[in-house]
Amino acid sequence: TGPANRPGAPVERAESAEGEVPHRTPRRVGRFAIERRLGGGAMGVVYLAWQDHPRRQVALKLMRPDRFNPAMLRRFEVEAQLLGRLQHPGIARIYDAGTCDVGEGATPYVAMEYVAGVTLATWAQSHAEPRAILSMLARVADAVEHAHRKGVIHRDLKPANIVVDPDDAPRILDFGVSRAVDDDPTRRRQTAAGEFVGTLPYMSPEQIAGDPDALDTRSDVYALGVIAYELLAGRLPHDLDSTTLAEAVRLVTQDDPAPLGRLVPALRGDVETIVGKALAKEPDRRYQSAADLAADIRRWLDDEPILARPQTTGETLLRLARRNKALVAVSAASLIAVVLFAVGMAAKAVEASGQRDRAVEAERVSERRRLAAEAEAAIARSVSEFLSNMLVSADPEQSLGESLTVRDVVDAAAAGVDGAFPGQPSVESSVRGTLGATYRGLGLFEKAEHQLEQAARLATSAFGPDDPRTIAANRVLGMVLTDQGRFDEAESLLFDAVQRLEAQAPQDEPALILARSDLARLRTEQGRLDEAAEMFRTTADDATRVLGPDDPATLTALHNLATTKRIQGDYEGAEELTRTVLEARRRTLGPDHPQTLYSGNALAAVLQRRGKIDEAEPLYRDTLAARCRILGTDHPSTNTVRQNLATLLIENGRLGEAEPLVLEVLQSCRRSLGPRHPRTLMALNMHAYLLEDLGQLEEAERAYRDAVELASTIFDASAPEWYPPQSNLASLLQRLGRLDEASDRFSELVAKAQANLPENQLYRCVIENNAGDCLRQAGRLDEAAPLLEGSLARFEAVLGADHPRTVKARTRLEALRAAERGEGG
């Protein structure tokens, strides 16, 4: 027989060659008269038998008694009841199950329907056409889904356990090693950690790991993927015949099989994608149910677009990082984290955009999609190769021992793009989009803008203005413009993205949900917080309904809604929502994922605002330690949480503890990002603030003036980031009693803010309020009044009456009224 007919070696390979029960065939087992032996394996032997009442032929499986202790026997009896609930035409019925004594003590048995026919592998040899094989597999998946819905996982799906009867109907056999889906932990632990149950070539990575807590229905989905691969390619995904057990485990858990389309070129595109998704190492990347797998197979059979998609650029980067750990320096690892965080959400819209596209002409759609899939695969290969070379450039041997920063690696990659992809605008657009998103994650907004502008231009040239890839490129560009405070330009791009998607996609299209989320974030930056909160709330509801409650897009929308609540002063609501997002990210992404750490930092910030310092401080410190470990000590996100921890210490009078943190942030930013970077500006401004609190006012003034000079070289007055150091310097001059100088500075700042920032933008409100207070102190009450009155009204409208900034603004206005009555100075 050929490779497709090889059933695969059982896991228990340390046993005898056959691994069978070492006893004679019994004549009778309870109500069953044994006729002959049908086969056997490591778990037991199957006999053809006759049941007395009712009179019928059965397949009787006797388990190996040495595999069962008393506790496991009790568990077997419970699970036998579950097996009896399986009533599906694709599953051989379980008639009876229990224990008997055949001279070797209590022996579990299962009596099941006897199905005449051939194994699935034998059937496939005479039905080699992929459509026939996949149609059969969809029916098998239907039966598996029924078992899952009844609470049973098979755990040993393979061609030898699937019989095709004379009517070409598949029947799944042998649920004797199955496990209850809702198995409680005490019973689940009876399958000891590290114990193998199943047949190795068909076992999922988590099943091989031997952790019963990690095993769920998606393990059976993986086995279906192995079966599909084997029947279509004529070989198993991994050749395990000549390997040791340890090497076999390594291959299955770590190495990707050859793409199906490489072995069978006719299967490139959708079929390769479907099988590849079922075979994903990580359960979260597989089809989440056998029903989902069956549905995508039928979409392909019906010449409809499938819902699976090839591996993304972000996933490619992650795998490259994993495979080049010895070569990739810390800076490159940081780059990967930035790419995954910054690119993931932008790429999501592109990945999901084709999900609802329906073909008009059935005879053309298959070919069109095949060509499109091949084109996308070619793009992915080119991008992967380019990025792989970029990562290898971080190898200390390749760089002659030089210490490379993240920016060095990205700059080198960016320099290599020009001329690298002649006649391939789609590939160049994808590479530049990735680089632009990475620059954005590093805070290098001008470089990000340059790359993203070209990515959008190339996408427009290659795909047209309405293509989802073009829209996605413009969306990310719009977010970079938002980062720079160029709100009018950002509004044009982001609103246009929403309009184009609304015109061509259903209202629950994932790409549209993401575009609306980006527009909501712009509203936050514009100070339109009520509008932003409502948009984030709607986006989160839509994402929950369409993508699921734990989808990254859903959690991002909820995170942004929580941030808006915090800005508005709804600290209680922000805390509750941030805790929800943090718990979901810990559960779905793990405790050390960058987005999980992002939520940890956000929760600590909310707790700090609520005065829960004893809870906020350790959370900051834990997040800081994790970011240092995962992202590196100089990563921008590491410095963000370090800066937040320093702020907490400063606010609580622990200036001595805060000072080394503040200096570390400043030195790190200068070292990793350079002296003229927005994050370096923030660190310098914070250092000046600390010096002021320490009473070192002359040093603080010099530091503020350095920050003002740096801000003017990076930004102009149209950017919100230009204002904080200017306002802080003016406030220090006010504190020093130099009121004329301070008032003049504030007046200039107010004029610029009113000319460049939206009316409700928070920096503008703060500057007008600070200026009004300075003018009040200088005795210029008529000039102070409109500034204090107007800023208070806007604080109340944007932040609410009880927000600390609103309360402070109200106190300042009351001081003005007292001065007008002659009651104060």
- Identity at 545, one-letter amino acid code: R
- The whole-number pLDDT of residue 381 equals 52
Stretch 566-579: mean pLDDT, rounded? 88
- The whole-number pLDDT of residue 771 equals 95
- The whole-number pLDDT of residue 744 equals 93
**Final residue of a structural domain among 292, 308, 324:** 308
- The whole-number pLDDT of residue 263 equals 87
Lowest mean pLDDT among 199-203, 307-311, 722-726: 307-311
Query: Does some domain include residue 727?
Result: no
pLDDT digits (tens, 9 = 90+) for 232-241: 999 999 887 7
Q: How confident is the model at residue 293 (pLDDT cuts 50, 70, 90)?
A: very high
Q: How confident is the model at residue 469 (pLDDT cuts 50, 70, 90)?
A: confident
Query: Does some domain include residue 217?
Result: yes
Lowest mean pLDDT among 277-281, 505-509, 696-700: 505-509
pLDDT digits (tens, 9 = 90+) for 624-667: 999 888 777 888 889 999 999 999 999 888 999 999 999 999 99
Ramachandran bin of 87, using left for φ above 0, alpha for ψ from -120 to 50, beta for the remaining angles: beta
Can you tell me which residue has the tokens 């900034």? 805
Stretch 467-477: mean pLDDT, rounded? 90
- The whole-number pLDDT of residue 528 equals 81
Query: Does some domain include residue 48?
Result: yes
- The whole-number pLDDT of residue 83 equals 66
Alpha helices in 22-61 (DSSP H): none
- The whole-number pLDDT of residue 351 equals 39
The domain that contains 761 carries what CATH number? 1.25.40.10
- The whole-number pLDDT of residue 335 equals 45
Query: Does some domain include residue 467?
Result: no
**Final residue of a structural domain among 262, 289, 308:** 308
- The whole-number pLDDT of residue 214 equals 65
- The whole-number pLDDT of residue 67 equals 58
**How many whole angstroms separate alpha carbon 139 and alpha carbon 83?**
20
- The whole-number pLDDT of residue 319 equals 45
**How many whole angstroms separate alpha carbon 7 and alpha carbon 241?**
11
- The whole-number pLDDT of residue 823 equals 74
Lowest mean pLDDT among 35-44, 382-391, 628-637, 757-766: 382-391
pLDDT digits (tens, 9 = 90+) for 750-794: 999 999 888 888 889 999 999 999 999 999 999 999 999 999 999
Structure tokens at 354: 């084709």
Compare 439 and 508 and report the one with higher pLDDT: 439
Longest dimension (CA), the chain: 113
Query: Does some domain include residue 812?
Result: yes
- The whole-number pLDDT of residue 406 equals 60
Q: How many domains does the chain have?
A: 2
DSSP string, 641-702: HHHHHHHHHHHTT-HHHHHHHHHHHHHHHHHHH-SSSHHHHHHHHHHHHHHHHTT-HHHHHH
**Final residue of a structural domain among 268, 288, 308:** 308
pLDDT digits (tens, 9 = 90+) for 208-238: 876 666 678 899 999 999 999 999 999 999 8
pTM more than 0.75: no
Query: Does some domain include residue 647?
Result: no
Lowest mean pLDDT among 352-356, 438-442, 674-678, 821-825: 352-356
Per the DSSP assignment, residues forming a β-bridge with 172 are 91, 162
- CB-CB contact of 233 with 173 (8 Å): no
Q: What is the mean pLDDT of the chain?
A: 79
Lowest mean pLDDT among 240-249, 313-322, 423-432, 765-774: 313-322
Compare 203 and 107 and report the one with higher pLDDT: 203
**How many whole angstroms separate alpha carbon 122 and alpha carbon 159?**
9
Give SS3 for 25.
Answer: coil
pLDDT of residue 165 exceeding 80, the answer is yes
Compare 280 and 269 and report the one with higher pLDDT: 280
Q: Report the share of the chain in percent with pLDDT over 90.
A: 34
- The whole-number pLDDT of residue 75 equals 56
φ and ψ at 100, to 5 degrees? -145, 175
Compare 586 and 16 and report the one with higher pLDDT: 586
* C-alpha distances out from residue 521 to 59, 196, 199, 568, 741, Å: 63, 49, 50, 14, 37
Sequence-distant (6+) residues with CB within 8 A of 743 are 771, 774, 775, 778, 780
pLDDT of residue 42 exceeding 60, the answer is no
pLDDT of residue 579 exceeding 90, the answer is yes
- CB-CB contact of 758 with 526 (8 Å): yes
Q: 43: domain range?
A: 28-308
Q: Report the share of the chain in percent with pLDDT over 70.
A: 76
Query: Does some domain include residue 46?
Result: yes
- The whole-number pLDDT of residue 137 equals 96
Query: Does some domain include residue 207?
Result: yes
Can you tell me which residue has the tokens 């809604």? 561
- The whole-number pLDDT of residue 661 equals 95
- The whole-number pLDDT of residue 92 equals 85
pLDDT of residue 153 exceeding 80, the answer is yes
Stretch 725-749: mean pLDDT, rounded? 94
- The whole-number pLDDT of residue 20 equals 39
- The whole-number pLDDT of residue 416 equals 80
Compare 366 and 169 and report the one with higher pLDDT: 169
- The whole-number pLDDT of residue 753 equals 92
Can you tell me which residue has the tokens 């590479």? 431
pLDDT of residue 391 exceeding 70, the answer is no
pLDDT of residue 542 exceeding 50, the answer is yes
Q: How confident is the model at residue 277 (pLDDT cuts 50, 70, 90)?
A: very high
Nearest to 770 by CA among 800, 738, 805: 805
pLDDT digits (tens, 9 = 90+) for 701-734: 999 999 999 989 887 888 788 899 999 999 999 9
- CB-CB contact of 353 with 468 (8 Å): yes
pLDDT of residue 582 exceeding 90, the answer is yes
Stretch 74-101: mean pLDDT, rounded? 73
Lowest mean pLDDT among 273-282, 325-334, 557-566: 325-334
The domain that contains 99 carries what CATH number? 1.10.510.10
Which of 286-290, 335-339, 375-379 is the most confident on average?
Answer: 286-290
Compare 322 and 677 and report the one with higher pLDDT: 677
**How many whole angstroms separate alpha carbon 96 and alpha carbon 657?**
71
